[in-house]
Structure 1
Amino acid sequence: MDKNTLLSSFGKWVEPINFKKLEKQVSHLKQDYYTKKLTTKSLLLLLLHAHLNEKESLRAISDSVIEDELQEAVGLDSISASQLSRKNQEVDPSIFANLFLDLVQKIQGNKQHRKVSMPLKIIDSSTIPLNLTNYKWATFRKTKAGIKLHLRLVFVDKDMTYPEKVTITPADVHDHEQLEVLVDEKEAMYVFDRGYMDYEMFDRFFDDGIFFASRLKKNSVVRTLEHFTIPEDSSVTSDAMVVIGSTQKRTENVFRLVETVDTQGKEIRIITNRFDLSANEISDIYRSRWAIELFFKWLKQHVRIKTFYGTSENAVQNQIYAALIAYCLLVLVRMETEAKQSLLQLRRWLQALLWKPYTKWFRRIQWRSRGST
């Protein structure tokens, strides 16, 4: 990228990416060994530009390179859809995956994040259906194909969440099989739905000092050992110490079962190993799980992950990791500018001022932030 591009809103947006690390990985894996035109870096920048502008196809990405500013940003004066397709299939997804993790570390190093002593980490998955004819490698039924995005989302507060860890599997992989992968540290509180029920794993979390809260399945067998006092004027209907499971398969440790009702009056049973919090706090923690549903909705509506630019496994994963990188870049801008606006609003202003000096974008954010306080 030339000096003008670096000073543009697009240049400022992608600035947190560790391009030196990218070059080292590319060199180590010999990804650009025979490349004459389209480098891995150029592909990444084009994918980020495509996500930002929701380009519908490789041909649309190819046509967008007619812009002088984009040419300068990616170091190309033209590129064909076939060249894009070939490069997207060749690039090892681990390169983009590592760049995503590097951005996560930058988010966690921000002063706003360092204030969080016990982060809330929400675990869930989202299935992305694929056309069986074009994605035979993702077959999970005779007539269906698809992949599953297993994700850990950090909930800092209602205004700030970000993806921290992700695994991509065939759609037929059960959620609870990824639980051990996504729960890997003690200094956090994990929240997940009943699809992750695993009594043996719950006992292991208890023994290892890993805190969690999960919704209990309706047919789960519960033996109550002691009831706790229910707070007044609360949606909590029961608070008890319990063991869960049948005689043949029962937890070795005792847990806490908090029963409450949602906004529609439906009963929710929450199992946890936190006895130091109030029943209302446990209820509120579990209700925070909605944040990951909103995150998946945001991804499917505002970047391209429902349809893909390529049909190979590499191409699909590269597009997903580029989408996560795009999201993290917006989070970092929000943190740097201390913006009050949503990521969607920051994205809209970025689209409008893409090749303008980034100071215009930042002034817009900060002026609006001051006006909203």
Structure 2
Amino acid sequence: MFAGQFVFCQLLEYLPRRAFQDCVRRYHGDQRLRGFSCRDQFLTLAFAQLTYRESLRDIETCLRALGPKLYHAGFRGRVSRNTLADANRVHDWRIYADFAQILIRQARQLYADEPFGATLNQTAYALDSTTIDLCLSLFPWAEFRRRKAAITLHTLLDLHGHIPCFVHISAGKLHDVKILDTLPIEPGAYYVMDRGYLDLARLYRFTTAGAFFVIRSKRNRDYRRTQQRAVDKATGLRSDLSIRFNSPRSVARYPDRLRRIAFHDTEHDRRLVFLTNPFLLPAWTVAQMYRSRWQVELFFKWIKQNLRIKAFYGTTENAVKTQIWIVISVYVLIAIVRKQTKTERSMSDILQILSLTLFEKMPLFQAFSDENSRNRETPGHNQPSLFDL
């Protein structure tokens, strides 16, 4: 019989504790509610995410049922719904945002060599957003429409490993394109975006910063062709042009030439037109990169189905942002554990296993072992193994 640590404790060993305390000190997190520290809050909300708790009362009931196991799992404060509600209100959400970035950097190093569908060695990102509906009477600070509240999660996903490396939480009124003003631009990296982000002046920032973009074009763009390249139409490509805009306003916003690639998507029987600024990249690779953009949509789908991100344990802006950043931390933690333990289990499988074994005493690798893999169903062909549901 294994007499070591709980599975929950083994999971927490992948979290850099000293780095977490540095984040706490940076924002003076433990100066309030000294009987319930920021670490207690993080452990409590991580437990809630891993075990699908529905409410503060649900969290309190389940944790108190564990009795003395809580102390051995690292909890030091007394868990109650009122104390947790106060912590969600007063502990600065930036503590958990900064800590999530530390985990993100660790995960990106582990997944740096993961393929993503396009033959590309450089860093590639997909940018998109998702809206989470809220009740206006409970969340008045997140007013979206006249009778509706919402928040928007703007996410930049590293396509090598599907790790969210930039997350911005805003009220639902913020237009997607405005997030480009705060987006950190990495020279030499590729950014894949849908046409909702098409703003020529903002896209020109990528060119001047030495970065590359692939974006779906809108119709009725006034341009002139300066060069035409041959394409293999059997691959779905229809044209590959170098262009310049004719409109004085467009020229003022983007004075350089652009590349315009037309592609026929046979799966959905539609014509797609891409604008991009790398001229040496094969046109087929550009089309494949845009196709990889759906990974960020899978990421949104996955966290909404597997983690508590559509319902919140508090109604203040601080509580909502705290919960979202802990959701991101839990997601990245599972990705790190999946890589470090070298398991072939999907992220969804790992979460299901952890929900039942957190306070069992067994080696972590044994919990993820797949002795009956021959009897398992084959995962769907249209989703990568990281997101298998």
State the alpha-carbon separation in 1 of the partners of residues 58 and 373 from structure 2.
Answer: 38
The verdict on how the C-alpha distance between 1:129 and 1:152 changes in structure 2, with shifts beyond 3 A counting, is same
By how many angstroms is 1:363 displaced?
3.1
For 1:155-187, what per-residue CA distance to the aligned partner results, in whole angstroms no more than 9, with x for missing partners?
Answer: 11xxx3111111111111111111132242113
For 1:260-298, what per-residue CA distance to the aligned partner results, in whole angstroms no more than 9, with x for missing partners?
Answer: 123211111111112212211110000000000000001
Residue matched to 1:20: 18
| Partner SS for 2:141 | helix
Q: Between the two proteins, what is the percent identity of the paired residues?
A: 30
Q: For 1:47, give the aligned amino acid.
A: L
Of residues 235-244 and 362-371 in structure 1, the stretch that sits farther from structure 2 once superposed is 362-371
State the alpha-carbon separation in 2 of the partners of residues 76 and 248 from structure 1.
Answer: 61
Of residues 34-43 and 65-74 in structure 1, the stretch that sits farther from structure 2 once superposed is 65-74
State the alpha-carbon separation in 2 of the partners of residues 77 and 199 from structure 1.
Answer: 52
State the alpha-carbon separation in 2 of the partners of residues 147 and 188 from structure 1.
Answer: 28
By how many angstroms is 1:15 displaced?
2.1
State the alpha-carbon separation in 2 of the partners of residues 255 and 368 from structure 1.
Answer: 53
Q: For residues 1-373 of structure 1, what are the structure 2 equivalents within 5 Å?
A: 7-65=5-63, 66-68=65-67, 69-76=69-76, 78-110=78-110, 112-113=111-112, 117-156=121-160, 160-244=161-245, 246-250=247-251, 251-262=254-265, 263-359=267-363, 361-365=364-368, 367=370
- Structure 2: runs of 5 or more not aligned: 116-120, 377-389
TM-score, normalised relative to structure 1? 0.90
Q: For 1:91, give the aligned amino acid.
A: H
Q: For 2:249, give the aligned amino acid.
A: Q
State the alpha-carbon separation in 2 of the partners of residues 275 and 28 from structure 1.
Answer: 44
TM-score, normalised relative to structure 2? 0.87
By how many angstroms is 1:41 displaced?
0.5
Mapped contact 1:183–1:190 kept (Cα < 8 A):
no
Q: For 2:186, give the aligned amino acid.
A: E
By how many angstroms is 1:367 displaced?
4.8
| Partner SS for 1:182 | coil
Number of matched residues?
A: 364
| Partner SS for 1:291 | helix
The verdict on how the C-alpha distance between 1:276 and 1:89 changes in structure 2, with shifts beyond 3 A counting, is same
Mapped contact 2:259–2:275 kept (Cα < 8 A):
yes
Mapped contact 1:340–1:369 kept (Cα < 8 A):
no
Mapped contact 2:262–2:274 kept (Cα < 8 A):
yes
The verdict on how the C-alpha distance between 1:369 and 1:212 changes in structure 2, with shifts beyond 3 A counting, is farther
Of residues 273-282 and 238-247 in structure 1, the stretch that sits farther from structure 2 once superposed is 238-247
The verdict on how the C-alpha distance between 1:368 and 1:166 changes in structure 2, with shifts beyond 3 A counting, is farther
For 1:292-336, what per-residue CA distance to the aligned partner results, in whole angstroms no more than 9, with x for missing partners?
Answer: 000000111111111111000000000000000000001101111
Mapped contact 1:230–1:238 kept (Cα < 8 A):
yes
Q: For 1:60, give the aligned amino acid.
A: D
Mapped contact 1:108–1:114 kept (Cα < 8 A):
no
State the alpha-carbon separation in 2 of the partners of residues 101 and 30 from structure 1.
Answer: 18
State the alpha-carbon separation in 2 of the partners of residues 325 and 248 from structure 1.
Answer: 43
- Structure 1: runs of 5 or more not aligned: none
Mapped contact 2:6–2:73 kept (Cα < 8 A):
no
| Partner SS for 2:224 | strand
State the alpha-carbon separation in 2 of the partners of residues 220 and 232 from structure 1.
Answer: 23
Of residues 130-139 and 19-28 in structure 1, the stretch that sits farther from structure 2 once superposed is 19-28
Cα-Cα RMSD: 2.4
| Partner SS for 1:17 | coil
State the alpha-carbon separation in 1 of the partners of residues 83 and 153 from structure 2.
Answer: 27
For 1:237-257, what per-residue CA distance to the aligned partner results, in whole angstroms no more than 9, with x for missing partners?
Answer: 221111246333232111111
The verdict on how the C-alpha distance between 1:353 and 1:273 changes in structure 2, with shifts beyond 3 A counting, is same
Runs of 4+ in 1 over 6 A off after TM superposition: 369-372
The verdict on how the C-alpha distance between 1:175 and 1:77 changes in structure 2, with shifts beyond 3 A counting, is closer
Q: For 1:272, give the aligned amino acid.
A: T
State the alpha-carbon separation in 2 of the partners of residues 244 and 175 from structure 1.
Answer: 24
State the alpha-carbon separation in 1 of the partners of residues 54 and 316 from structure 2.
Answer: 17
| Partner SS for 2:234 | coil
Of residues 65-74 and 339-348 in structure 1, the stretch that sits farther from structure 2 once superposed is 65-74
